Amino acid sequence: MTTESSASPADTEPSLLVHDEGGVRTMTLNRPAARNSVNLDLAERIDAAITELDERRDLTVGVLTANGTTFSAGMDLKAFLRGERPKTEGRGFAGLVERPAAKPLIAAVNGPAVAGGFEIVLACDMVVASEDAFFALPEVKRGLVAAGGGLLRLPGRLPYHLAMELALTGRTLSAVEAHRLGLVNRIVPAGEVMRAAAELAAEIAACGPLAVAATKRIIQESPSWPADEAFDRQTEVAAPVRSSADAIEGARAFTEKRPPVWTGA
């Protein structure tokens, strides 16, 4: 999860900008002079923002994007040499990769996402990318291992042999190729990433928040469930949603031909 990126001078603005609107939390990496490399301050801010996203009933989905021309160059090596480790207790590198948000998270990739930056993207549930973006895990070129979740997640997102090639050579994967392979949901011209990500987030935020969170949980966890227990385990997750006030509201709104008013309860 490291690259050769340099850190920026002392930041004069918060390293993470947070904006909430319409059930969507937008979190913007804000260290463009350092290619949005991750130091401890940024990791802690991401952790706090995701924790609050999961806790608040009025928020359904998150978007993670970045200012500048690079999504993220990975770990801030200057901070690392000062003794910093950009990890948080429980969530790991970038305050995210070991325990991502319980609610859906969209990566809006406006430029290169390499090393830890790619691992941040892989920790998200959906990806919107600009046509000129690219992805890479170059750690092996430095004699290192991509230990921020990249090696754990990449084989589940790409064909095995391609995932192995990318991990063993450190070569770049263009956004166009990533889209063709299904790693990227939507690819758009440069400058259109946030518009497209906001549209996708709004589609999700229009749905019942309890149902959205439960649906993500089932999709994520079910591959490890024993086949003979899968439906019982699914019921454990889905039953509280079915008996919720939001489920009643959704049915009532449908019969009354009006938009539902969700409360997250």
- Annotated catalytic residues are 119, 139
Radius of gyration of the chain (CA): 19
Residue listed under structure tokens 């401890």: 40
Cα 221 → chain centroid? 17
Q: What is the rounded CA–CA span in Å between residue 39 and residue 181?
A: 31
Q: Which two tokens stand for residue 34?
A: 């350092």
Q: What share of the chain is helix, strand, coil (3-state, %, to 5)?
A: 45, 15, 40
| Residues in a beta bridge with 63 | 26, 106
SS3 category, 226: coil
Cβ-contact 93, 119 below 8 angstroms: yes
C-alpha angle 128/168/32, rounded to 5°?
40
Q: Do 91 and 112 contact (CB within 8 A), yes or no?
A: no
Q: Output the furthest CA–CA distance in the chain (Å, rounded).
A: 62
**Closest among 10, 14, 84, 95 to 54, alpha carbons compared:** 95
Contact assessment for residue 118 and residue 70, using Cβ atoms and an 8 Å cutoff: no
